[in-house]
Every structure is written in structure tokens, then in C-alpha cells.
Amino acid sequence: MNITVSGVNELDKVLKQIPKSATTAIEKELKKVALDLQGKAQRIAPIDLGDLRGSAFAVVGKEMVSQQEKDKDPKSVRMGLPTAGGLEAVVGFTEPYALRQHEEVGYRHTKGGGQAKFLETPYKQNRDKYVDYIAKAVKKAVEK
């Protein structure tokens, strides 16, 4: 399960015109943002054994910026990790049931807590802040 943001191709064209220092600043900030979103999503993901929360990942470009926890269920098979494009971050969960748990707002998570929309909610709550962080990093890098 991933959240996709449209307009990435257009953004990538614009970003190719900026200095390398700005690109480096974006990559660094994307890692911070991806890890922040992953942590927020993990804290509110439903929990039974902890496998869903443990399957969270963050990828920036081709680099895995967080390590998944070992799956506690020997019968479970996690989905493969995606790769991201150049200046792109992907945050998600690889347990096969992650999407259903995320989308099913009628589920009651009484055992260990958590909620549906555990990735979407923190993304929507923080996206403006994340964009601002990246914009400030670019501005600082370009002004040097």
C-alpha cells in the first residue's frame, strides 16, 4: 500500500534545472520526511502481533532509509519492497493485509488499538509541513 502523488514527472523536469546542492538538500529532506511519516503511520496502525507495524518501510530514490522488523508470523509472506524514482519517496507497509486494514473503516481494533487510514491520515495532517521543509531546504541550498 502506497500513497501516490500526481505531478511527479512535471516536478522532476523542473528539479533537473536546479543546482546539485538543491538536489542533495531535497534528498536529505525527503529522507527525514519519509521517516517521520513512517513513524507516525506505525504508531496508529492496527496491532495484533505487530507484524503490520513491523512491515512499514521508507524508500527514497533507490535507498531503503528504514529497516523492517522481522515478521513474527512464519506463515506470513510480505510483499516486495518498491523502488522510488530519483527525487521520490515511498512510504508503505508490505503485509498482504495492509491495504484492507487501511481502507476498512468499519473494523474495530480492540486488541492492540490502531485505526484505519493509518498512512493517509498522518500524510494529510503533515503534507503542507513536509512541502515547507523541502522548500526551505532548497532555498537554503540555492542561496549558498
Predicted confidence (pLDDT) per residue in 38-87, tens digit: 999 999 999 988 899 999 999 998 888 887 777 777 666 667 777 777 78
Query: Structural domain boundaries of the chain?
Result: 21-143
Per-residue pLDDT at 75: 65
Ranked by mean pLDDT, which of 12-26, 113-127, 129-143 comes out on top?
Answer: 113-127
Of all residues in the chain, what percent are helix, strand and coil, respectively (each to 5)? 45, 10, 45
pTM over 0.85: no
How far is 138 from 31, CA to CA, in rounded Å? Answer: 14
How far is 66 from 68, CA to CA, in rounded Å? Answer: 7
Give strand ranges (E) for the chain.
Answer: 56-60, 63-64, 89-93
Q: What are phi and psi of 3, to 5 degrees?
A: -105, 130
Residues 6+ apart with CB under 8 A from 99: 1
Cβ(82)–Cβ(1) below 8 Å:
no
